[in-house]
Amino acid sequence: MKFDSQVVHGTGKCDPATGSICVPIYQTTTYKHPSLSESCGYDYSRIQNPTRQALEETIAMLEEGTHGFAYTTGLAADMAVFSLLSAGDHAVISDDVYGGTYRMIEKIWSRYKVEFTFVDPGNLDAIEAAMRPNTKLVFVETPTNPTMKVADIAAIAKIAKAHGAYTVVDNTFLTPYLQKPLNLGADIVLHSATKFLGGHHDTMAGLIVVKDPELAEHFKLMVGTEGAGLAPLDSWLILRGIKTLALRMQRHEENTRKVAEWLRNHPRVEKVYYVGFPDHPGYEISSRQASGFGGMLSFTVDSVETVHRVIENVKMIMFAESLGGTETLITYPLTQTHASVPEEARLKLGITDRFMRLSVGIEDVQDIIDDLAQALN
Ligand SMILES: Cc1ncc(COP(=O)(O)O)c(C=O)c1O
């Protein structure tokens, strides 16, 4: 089956009790066993639930892994990934990760005697130089949030493997519709499924996919022990969102390309961060490892006054955090998504007070452009 059909049909299992073609919402905490020596296959919903399991099997299939794990949020999934580290371990992290991931590392994991080095994910020499004998994880987003840097997944995985470390790729921005990190050598794929996978700005979720049995055991233990497994209704909502992933991603892609080109020619716009421009430094790598550039872009404008004008005057576009849903959202990383990143690090990345991020939705692209035009002028 092709990917566009896989998202619609999922694992293709009908409900065994009724034949329902939609996965039922198994709203239960526990399961009745037939006898002392027989189990119905489920014990307790913290450990496993059939609706959550359907989502986990679906994302494992779409990412071409063997085991999927569904968490309450992307950050809960991140916590499970970082719990692979023990005191004395070291991790190499992209210097342009989502602000919440940065906060989790700085405020929580640093207290557990785990060491971190932040590097530019586009600089392979810097990654190689950062590796230590105790490096256990290399963690990248690609493209990065919000400055749209591109990391060469295959090359990074090669470096990590040579040093006995796992490669983790946050695939939130592109989804398996456009990029499959496990096929490029990554060990762990992570998603904030709150974004494009869910797709409607209505459900929080995080997903992990692996194909190594030892890693699968770790996440199985974590999901059942940490108690952050996704609830049945939320699992169902993400499954429902995934059914239209291919259609939505096509439209996000088409709209984003047009909006990026339009913004680039606007006199008040200084720079557009969009991987799909042939002069973007990551264009070539991205074209090799992904089949599209996704629905995200960032841009800087001529003044802080212009930022205020845009944010206060957009009408259809909404000034809100998050990304990847049907509606176009404009975000101000300085005070929103990246407020936890220290000023010096933020400025080094170019996240200034004139920097905005756009999650381009699936509306008519002319309405998006018209709205930006009236707000910018
Ligand atoms: C790239 C990326 N990874 C992880 C997260 C965290 O996900 P969640 O908000 O679902 O906890 C986000 C949130 O914005 C994100 O953008």
Residue 343 has pLDDT above 90, yes or no: no
75 and 206 both lie in a single domain: yes
Residue nearest to atom 2 of ligand 1 (CA): 98
89 and 234 both lie in a single domain: yes
pLDDT tens across 239-287, in order? Answer: 999 999 999 999 999 999 999 999 999 999 999 999 999 999 999 999 9
97 and 193 both lie in a single domain: yes
Q: At 120, list the tokens.
A: 């530019």
- Look at residues 242, 277, 302 and tell me which one is the last residue of a structural domain: 242
| Contact partners, residue 239, CB within 8 Å, separation at least 6 | 10, 23, 51, 54, 55, 58
Our answer to whether residue 46 is catalytic in this structure is yes
Residue nearest to atom 6 of ligand 1 (CA): 74
155 and 192 both lie in a single domain: yes
* Residue 223 domain boundaries: 3-242
| Contact partners, residue 288, CB within 8 Å, separation at least 6 | none
229 and 279 both lie in a single domain: no
Question: Total domain count for the chain?
Answer: 2
Mutation probe of ligand 1 site: the residue of 78, 94, 98, 147 with most atoms within 8 A of C-beta = 98
Under DSSP, the state recorded for 291 is S
204 and 284 both lie in a single domain: no
Our answer to whether residue 302 is catalytic in this structure is no
Please identify which of the residues 98, 102, 166, 273 carries the catalytic annotation. Answer: 98
Atom of ligand 1 nearest to the CA of 77: 11
The CATH number assigned to the domain holding 96 equals: 3.40.640.10
Predicted pLDDT of residue 229: 98
Query: How far is residue 370's CA from residue 367's CA, in Å, rounded to a whole number?
Result: 5
77 and 222 both lie in a single domain: yes
pLDDT tens across 177-231, in order? Answer: 999 999 999 999 999 999 999 999 999 999 999 999 999 999 999 999 999 999 9
The CATH number assigned to the domain holding 282 equals: 3.90.1150.10
29 and 133 both lie in a single domain: yes
Predicted pLDDT of residue 186: 98
Distance 15 CA to ligand 1 centre (A): 32
Q: From the CB of residue 296, how many other CB atoms can be counted at a distance below 10 Å? A: 27
Minimal CA–CA distance to 205: which of 179, 236, 247? 236
235 and 253 both lie in a single domain: no
362 and 258 both lie in a single domain: yes
